[in-house]
A and B are shown apart, each in its own frame.
Chain A
Amino acid sequence: MPRPVIEVARLRKLYGSTVAVDDVSFEVFEGEIFGLIGPNGAGKTTTMECVEGVRKADAGRTTVLGLDPARQANALQQRIGVQLQQAQLQKRIRVWEAVDLWASLYPRTIDGRTLLEQLGLTEKRNASFMSLSGGQKQRLFIALALINDPEVVFLDELTTGLDPQARRAIWDLVNGIRSRGKTVFLTTHLMEEAERLCDRVAIIEHGRLIEMGAPADLVRQHCPERGVVFSSDRADLAGELERIAGAGSVRVEGTTYTVQGRGDDFVTAVIRFIAAQALTVRDFRTVFPTLEDVFLKLTGHAIRD
């Protein structure tokens, strides 16, 4: 059993009389990528910043690497790496200067040149911060978060505002961080990102944690339905498809069938049926629910609303 590196118990944070985070508890284990997911304004960033020691919680007990972020912030900063949401650097600071400054702040650091090379920023060493693209800025922030060879890395909405290509590149980098044995704690409102990256996620809404687990487990638990879509040359299969074990609804559009069903054997059952009927199939795909559907099911609204 891996040991927990972050333990949050009954965290609560108010802004004036508004409750931003309410009674949130979770653990993050060594070596995993843990994601706090939910819509904008759900309390993800506030929660993360309380854990980082950037913000003080109003109630609850939090330990990170055995330290209290509120009272031992400085000791904690040495051992964690942080990327903040929507943070900027000085407009005219150069890439190497930022890395150099950050490197001077920690007693133990890794080589800045190698880091910039790994993050694909070598050519941008002398570029000013304001001349970088969104993806390059985020890569620089990742570099700054990794410069002290931290045990835990915090990434807050890392890919917001990036184009899909830059986003994918960042995902690879985050996976790379984990494969160096580090724990990653991230927030995102992108369910696809959470599904691609996270070993476990906690879904947070209106400051409350409403569900937690591995993405695949959550999908299986809350959205067991899956669909098989195939097209065939026959248009009279609806009745027989409905009799397949686990099958629910069947929708027919011309010769394209969409069969909804549940259970681990459902897809196999459809394949067996096709084989038994010796059907000629021009197209065949399965449709699985995603975290997006889980969120919809749990909250009654889509995450982007």
Chain B
Amino acid sequence: MRGLLKLTWLEIRIFMREPLGFVAAIGIPLVMFLALGRSMSPFADRSARTMQFLAQDLPLFVSIFISINAALSLVAVISIYREGGILKRLRATPLRPAVILVAHVLVKLVFTGISLLLVILAGRRFYPIPLHAHLAGFALAVVVTTVTILCMGFVVASMVGTARFAQLIGSVIFYPMLVVSGMFVPLSSMPRPLAVLGSVLPMSHAVALLRGAWDGTGWLVLLPHLGALALTIAICLGLTTRVFRWE
């Protein structure tokens, strides 16, 4: 436990020293949120579609974007650490292997939290419309979503050798998944094969969970989505423990 906290805190400090990584994790989602949000307001086109986009779709997209960002960064870190023999070096200590990986999950969760917090705070001041959401439940949903995507990231990091490739593969998996997740186009209005594909993939359940939590839908209703994400986490962890390479 002491090792986990120590390593996590150390990795947080190290991450903050990497100016580009820090900007990507915190700055890009924030700028995207405000820029897209404000670009909508001057049109004064307060149609239902625009309002829906501003009030829910964009905040949800930004949240999920932050999670995917975190996972891609995780994939990169793990690959770089493996290539440099850092993972191997840490493993030749009394640290349990799982602790080394869990520390990185915690680091990414911390930065996801910071990033979201900044988005909310900046949104209060600069976003065109006020926030209407059940924040506590939504925060919980974001944590579940992020952990799910991070676990998927571990599978990618396990299978792909080099950092450059791993991040590319990660993007190629996560972003198309987002397209058929019901984020912008509801699954019900998609062609049937796409809708089926989307509902099988975990991202659609993440979006449904986030949307439900945002609206304050009861957790009981969201249970199937929660279950789907839990199943995804279990499968990814199972795969990771089998195929993860330390060097």
Which A residues lie at the B interface, using CB under 8 A? 52, 54, 74, 77-78, 82, 84, 86-93, 97, 100-102, 104-106, 128
Contact = CB atoms under 8 A, between A and B. Distances in A.
Given A74-B94, A106-B94, A101 B7 contact: yes
Contact of B2 (A52, A89, A90, A104): A104
Contact of B86 (A54, A74, A88): A88
A93 B94 contact: no
Interface in B43-92: 81, 84-86, 88-89, 91-92
Contacts of B2: 104
A93 B85 contact: no
Contact of B92 (A52, A88, A90, A100): A52
Taking each of A86, A92, A93, A101, which has the highest tally of chain B beta carbons within 10 Å of its own beta carbon?
A: A101
A190 to B, nearest CB: 21
A47 to B, nearest CB: 15
Contacts of A97: 10, 13
A158 B81 CA distance: 21
A278 B166 CA distance: 78
Given A77-B94, A87-B84, 7 more contacts: A52-B92, A77-B92, A84-B89, A90-B14, A91-B84, A93-B14, A104-B6
Contacts of B39: none
Given A87-B86, A88-B84, A78 B91 contact: no
A87 B89 CA distance: 6
B7 to A, nearest CB: 7
A88 B6 contact: no
A164 B10 CA distance: 34
20 contacts: A77-B93, A84-B92, A87-B84, A87-B86, A87-B88, A88-B85, A90-B11, A90-B81, A91-B84, A92-B17, A100-B6, A101-B7, A102-B93, A104-B2, A104-B3, A104-B6, A105-B3, A105-B93, A105-B95, A128-B17
Taking each of A90, A97, A100, A102, which has the highest tally of chain B beta carbons within 10 Å of its own beta carbon?
A: A90
Interface residues of B, number: 22
Contacts of B94: 74, 77-78, 105-106
A101 B10 contact: yes
Contacts of B89: 84, 87-89
**Overall SS of chain B's interface:** helix
A84 B88 contact: yes
Contacts of B92: 52, 54, 77, 82, 84
B85 A86 contact: yes
A87 B85 contact: yes
Contacts of B17: 92, 128
Contacts of A92: 14, 17-18
A90 B88 contact: no
Nearest to B13: A97
A84 B17 CA distance: 26
A129 to B, nearest CB: 10
A139 to B, nearest CB: 15
A86 B13 CA distance: 24
Nearest to A107: B94
A55 B2 CA distance: 26
Nearest to B93: A105
B52 to A, nearest CB: 43
B99 to A, nearest CB: 10
Contacts of B13: 97
Taking each of B6, B11, B96, which has the highest tally of chain A beta carbons within 10 Å of its own beta carbon?
A: B6
Contacts of A54: 88, 91-92
Contacts of B85: 84, 86-88
A105 to B, nearest CB: 5
A198 B105 CA distance: 44
The 4 closest A-B pairs by CB, nearest first: A88-B84, A87-B85, A87-B89, A92-B17
A71 to B, nearest CB: 15
A192 B70 CA distance: 49
Contacts of B88: 54, 84, 87
Nearest to A128: B17
A279 B18 CA distance: 72
A134 to B, nearest CB: 15
B102 to A, nearest CB: 15
Contacts of B96: 74
Contacts of B91: 54
